[in-house]
Amino acid sequence: MSTYERIDIAALELDELESALERLGHPRFHARQAFQWIHRRGVTEFAQMTDLSRDLRRRLEAEFEIQTPQVIRRDVSSDGTTKFLLELADGKQIESVFIPDTPAQTFCISTQVGCAMRCAFCLTGRMGIDRNLTAGEIAGQVRVLARELRMLDTRFNIVLMGMGEPLHNYESTMQALRILADDHGLSVNPRRVTLSTVGVLPALERLATEPVMPNLAISLHSTTEEQRDLLVPINRKYGLKELLDACRRFPVKRRERITFEYVMLKGVNDSPDDARRLVRLLHGIRGKVNLLPLNEAANIPFERPSDETVNRFAKIVADHGVTVSVRKSRGRDIRAACGQLITETARTQTPGRRLAMLMQQGV
């Protein structure tokens, strides 16, 4: 059988693998053994599965393959953040990031090659969308980072905040989370996973019904419909009011809150009026605000506000009883900070300085 016809075993959930091996005439417990080898121990070859018979390993080799993202480059920031450039089986490239001491260890994972959302302040949006990642490629990033960093036996957090919009690749994203949560694999508790979305409403409403449910972060970034239309173009399809209404209906667990991410842009969305509007928008939602002063980059037509402006904004929000934090940028010197992930094959699709001028004029 040709390599290209084999099934990627790393993309199968345990019950799917059990059924596949049963069809081949093997007991279901062999699937659990293979699943553990791949996802808990990080092996990349069937020959390494030493508690399986040689006959079974040969059969697995004939029927399946273990697709594993390959590390092409590894950059380490002065603050300890590590960015991995990974190559997939078809030659496409993505980036994943390890952020230490946050206070937990955190893996920032991609869900697409590029991104279709085209947010005005995000480098990844310049790429456009190339393709979705498979469940195996999403979970595979975690396997690779855990193996490379010698953390297969260490607890860590996962944020789906890398390249791509997770809810735009819903099926593969949720399948990957189920693979990662499986007790026979890395056993990552969904409470240690945060999914960040700009608000793809049908998928967000579907997420509310999932048995394996990560923490939710909403990329808000604006306090008016008109402004968000320019900053986050999907708002023209799923408006701010509809998004916040969906958040009010979202089943937030006890002692948990929805995080609202707000990238701060100098002279655009950082005024006291913006802060007061933000408080009013979040009324009735169990939420908290995470302010992200812009990580500036070439070809992004916005500037980072001053620390004084950020602190004033945060104080207004906090004084109105909303929990607020200011995210410290990590890995900026290696272009690993929020909104800076982009591979060398990126296409130059981005809003220009005209957009920044319109925003500063209050359009």
Q: Which residues are catalytic?
A: 95, 338
What b/e readout covers 56-65, taking b as 16+ CB neighbours within 10 angstroms?
bbebbeebbb
Compute the CA torsion angle 193, 105, 259, 294 (nearest 10 deg). -130
Burial of 14 (0-12, 13-18, 19+ CB in 10 A): buried
Q: How far apart are CA 83 and CA 319, in angstroms?
A: 37
Gap between the Cα atoms of 147 and 283, Å rounded: 43
- 196 vs 217: CA distance, rounded Å: 5
Is residue 96 within 8 Å of residue 110, measured between CB atoms?
Answer: yes
Strand blocks (E) in the chain? 7-8, 64-65, 70-76, 82-87, 93-99, 106-108, 112-114, 129-132, 157-160, 193-197, 215-219, 258-264, 287-293, 324-326
Burial class (CB within 10 angstroms; exposed 0-12, middle 13-18, buried 19+) of 290: middle
Residue type (1 letter), 164: G
